[in-house]
Amino acid sequence: MASFDLDGTIGAYELGTLVSYILFGVTTTQVYIYYSRFPNDPRGLRYMVAFIWSCEMVHVVLVGCTLYQITVADYGHPERLILTPRPLAMAVMISAFVGTVVQVFFAFRIYRLSKSLYIPWLSWILSFSLLLGAIAVCFYGLRIETIPEFEGQFAWLLNSLWTGGAVNDLLIAGTLVYWLKKAENLSANRPSC
């Protein structure tokens, strides 16, 4: 039997799950504050917030199921750590849906600020490409039995998804900062009555 680095597998996953639960608690608090302070926001926006929170709840449950599987159900069988946990593959897809909705929303905000479609279209194309890639990861993650086999075939896809997501997030954040700073400068230069 091969030797496994349990700190690098179970330990890292356990810490990541705990941080994920803490962040879900922060998200839940933010959702509560949002609904209590902005009851008159457009219905579509309120539904989007509820959808994102619901998806995050499903994501947390799937991550917890994976933790249970690798620490309780497979206890005493370190050779099973190389098997692809099915709930984890599903969690990747849920996370991609959330990421796509959020990135599309912020790209739309860029359009509203700039009245230009160049950056929003680029962001939307990236978002939907990342979603398709994540769906492929989920599909093949459910079909391929071991993690090393999956990594051998699809490490390029995982790296592409992480890189594309970071590029899109930086594009959105940088563009929003630019347009919000520009709007702030315009309002500061207006003469007061």
> Which tens digits make up the pLDDT trace of 66-120?
999 888 888 888 777 788 888 988 998 999 999 999 999 999 999 998 999 999 9
Burial (CB count <10 Å: 0-12, 13-18, 19+), residue 110: buried
- Please tell me whether residue 98 adopts helix, strand or coil conformation: helix
Domain ranges in the chain are 1-82, 84-193
User: What number of other Cβ atoms are within 10 A of residue 125's Cβ?
Assistant: 12
Check if the beta carbon of residue 51 is closer than 8 Å to that of residue 19: no
The residue whose two tokens read 């302070």 is 37
For helices 12-37 and 43-68, the axis angle rounded to 10 degrees is 160
User: At residue 184, does pLDDT exceed 70?
Assistant: yes
Q: What is the pLDDT of residue 1?
A: 42
Query: Which residues, other chains included, contact 128 with Cβ-Cβ below 8 Å and sequence gap of 6+?
Result: 100
CA dist 94 and 118 (Å) reads: 28
- pLDDT, mean of residues 27-54: 96
Taking the C-alpha atoms of residue 191 and residue 193, their distance in angstroms, rounded to an integer, is 7
What's the CA gap between 56 and 50, in Å, rounded? 10
pLDDT for 130 beyond 80: yes
